[in-house]
Structure 1
């Protein structure tokens, strides 16, 4: 297949979760014989922090002005099998118009931010990557979040055919590596500061650090406020580029996963960091949300914590038990949650949607 994508960014992993996911997915699609063309607006923020400059086996198209690049986009769509736009794509509406006007490609929307999309709709806020017709003109909608979110995308936005396409990890990038002494931790946490995660972070890391003053705790991330309740045994790494994540996780005896409120409320929304840590063989202590046990088996492949007691109990586990959990999680990731698996799922979704469209007599776009 020739797959044309209009997305937020693949060239810069700075300050967004899209780039790492797209890199793994595009590499897997290309390895599987597909041709990928990725259109990305060349914004100053991402240009100043670019850590990928081309897409081997595919095409990365950076552009500054939509009007100037529009003819090239039209040309790319002429022989495309699939054309996709995504959440937070800055030119999503204009790209959508081109996709709907093209005769050949299957039209797809991939929401990598479903909890944000739905929470903004509930609050009556504008969602800039959605037009007044919502998602009803796309032949296929993919969602980073499954479960009840799929029904809400149908009811609120008119999605005709919607399927989950969850997070994933590229094991060639995220794998066990030699542990760095600088990152060594009995319990680590990797994540940007978020007010809606603070209560959980205090219960699951800060209070355990207070109760275990001889153990080492590490937080990696950005935007932590000056009044954050640091403890003498909590060490801070202000920025952790994605290429350093394997070193970070490999140096952690345990690592903590805390889910944003909107994601936790919907459930069925595993973060990319969850798979990254597991791929590195690092045991994860996670907060609880619906659907988590579909991705990792509690107590065998992941540890769950609703409060401080469970975290302290995890810290007290024998080393051989901790290693077994980390190894079991890595085996689960390699068996089910790699970028290769998601690429195959994506292509299968395309084929199903195309068959469905053919059975219904072709594309049914822009209906009244």
Structure 2
């Protein structure tokens, strides 16, 4: 059934320095493909306004607002009448926006946490910058980027009514193998994060220093000036989504690194896993619980602890590298595309809607 969906997210218009944009773009495009009408509301902030790479998406309406008061005045009726309102993590003034949504919305309300382990760590520390503990039970659905034990924790410790996993995904129309010359032995794509940097040092920069004859690459913004980059490591400050497929296709292996909170929680796959696999690039990943539930360790993804293991994989024959890449691509296309996530979200929403309708009929 066609539904009117309203999404309030960090950013759809700009992929600069955040992974939210690519997640929303893939999911909303797939939802539109299933016939839904979608309005995305984004806070107009200068740092994203200066780096927008999507202004008029063909699969949803994208509109901007200046603050919570403007949101209520201009879009209050749309929030009230939508079949479902989905509020994402890290939205500016997120607590005030959540209160507004819970007060106005007459349809299903959902919180889409693209940063669940980080969110829960902040809530436990009393740092509710975009979500307050008392707001969690007010959403009909808590959609989580982390699955596994985190879902039960959300319900038992934080009072979520329905905690459901909704992992990131990939749009195979945009992410697929391209014929590119091999430029790098190993590459990494990701915004700088202090808790990921030791892994980058251990699993990419150290191997690069050990193998000066090989070429490596790190793409992503916000890396501090003091990092000692080996001469054979190329730096790309920002790589827009339209260039990701060519980037992955030009490397022998790609590295997946996970935020510390997400490693502890487990079952928190990065979108880079699915994007790289869809492009036919084999993956070396740091180790965390639940990785094997999305890609099979040893045949679809290689788990690495140190630089020595990285070098062993880089030395594998091309046939072994290609076999792992093909297996991962097949798994992602079978289970982890945006179409799979859109169908899952639709089922979650319909479960709440039909349940509410049944209760009204019994009343």
* Deviation string, structure 1 residues 90-148 (Cα, Å, up to 9, x no partner): 243344334333463111111111111111123332x1222351311111110011112
Change (3 A) 1:232 1:141: same
Spell out the pairing of 1:35-46 with structure 2 (5 A cutoff): 35-46=37-48
* Deviation string, structure 1 residues 163-218 (Cα, Å, up to 9, x no partner): 0100101111111123266xx11111112222222222222112222222221111
CA distance in 2, matches of 1:103, 1:189: 41
CA distance in 1, matches of 2:360, 2:94: 27
* Deviation string, structure 1 residues 210-240 (Cα, Å, up to 9, x no partner): 2222211111122323332322322222222
- Counterpart residue number, 1:322: 321
CA distance in 1, matches of 2:133, 2:293: 35
- Counterpart residue number, 1:270: 269
CA distance in 1, matches of 2:223, 2:64: 32
- Counterpart residue number, 1:366: none
- Counterpart residue number, 2:151: 150
Contact 1:180 1:247 survives alignment (8 Å): no
- Counterpart residue number, 1:20: 22
- Counterpart residue number, 1:243: 242
> What displacement does 1:84 show?
1.6
Aligned residue for 1:133, secondary structure, equals helix
Of the candidates 108, 126, 145, which is equivalent to residue 124 of structure 1? 126
1:217 and 2:219 are equivalent in the alignment? no
CA distance in 2, matches of 1:22, 1:180: 31
1:164 and 2:162 are equivalent in the alignment? no
- Counterpart residue number, 2:280: 281
Of the candidates 28, 49, 52, which is equivalent to residue 47 of structure 1? 49
> What displacement does 1:50 show?
1.0
Contact 1:180 1:248 survives alignment (8 Å): no
Unaligned segments of structure 2, at least 5 residues:
none
CA distance in 2, matches of 1:58, 1:132: 31
Unaligned segments of structure 1, at least 5 residues:
363-368
> What displacement does 1:62 show?
1.0
Of the candidates 112, 115, 118, which is equivalent to residue 114 of structure 2? 112
Change (3 A) 1:95 1:197: closer
Contact 1:161 1:353 survives alignment (8 Å): no
- Counterpart residue number, 1:292: 291
CA distance in 1, matches of 2:55, 2:229: 38
Contact 2:6 2:39 survives alignment (8 Å): yes
Change (3 A) 1:355 1:282: same
Change (3 A) 1:200 1:341: same
Aligned residue for 1:340, secondary structure, equals helix
CA distance in 2, matches of 1:302, 1:318: 16
CA distance in 1, matches of 2:300, 2:59: 35
Aligned residue for 1:254, secondary structure, equals strand
CA distance in 2, matches of 1:132, 1:31: 35
Change (3 A) 1:179 1:76: same
Spell out the pairing of 1:71-150 with structure 2 (5 A cutoff): 71-102=73-104, 104-125=106-127, 127-131=128-132, 133-150=134-151
1:349 and 2:351 are equivalent in the alignment? no
**Root-mean-square deviation (Å):** 1.9
Larger deviation, residues 76-85 vs 40-49: 76-85
1:191 and 2:190 are equivalent in the alignment? yes
TM-score by length of 1: 0.92
In the comparison of the two structures, how many residue pairs are matched? 359
TM-score by length of 2: 0.93
> What displacement does 1:81 show?
1.1
Contact 2:187 2:216 survives alignment (8 Å): yes
> What displacement does 1:277 show?
0.6
- Counterpart residue number, 2:302: 303
Aligned residue for 2:235, secondary structure, equals strand
- Counterpart residue number, 2:32: 30
Change (3 A) 1:168 1:103: closer
